[in-house]
Amino acid sequence: MGVNDRIRAKPPATDADRWTETTVRAVRFDDTHGRYAVTVADGTEVTVSRALFELFAGRLERPVDDPEDAVGATAWYR
């Protein structure tokens, strides 16, 4: 995927058919590009800015002190 990827911590209220429900399998930060790569259950890698990842992590129902704390969380991506 690319820089226009999106990830959500809550079910989408609109256009639900455009989003895929999944589970976060891995999270890594790419220092070179300043972006987070979030790998989800089907192996798709969703790439988002630091700000979008922080927004996503802040909306999870569990505390996220470290990006890896998001692993196992339910998410929606497109």
What is the tens place of the pLDDT at every residue in 5-19?
A: 789 999 999 899 999
d(CA 21, CA 74): 7
- Label residue 19 exposed, middle or buried (CB < 10 Å: 0-12, 13-18, 19+): middle
Query: Which pLDDT belongs to residue 76?
Result: 96
Return the residue matching tokens 């989003």.
19
User: What parts of the chain have a pLDDT lower than 70?
Assistant: 1-4
Query: Which pLDDT belongs to residue 3?
Result: 47
d(CA 47, CA 63): 21
DSSP 8-state class, residue 56: H
Query: Which pLDDT belongs to residue 4?
Result: 54
Query: Which pLDDT belongs to residue 5?
Result: 72
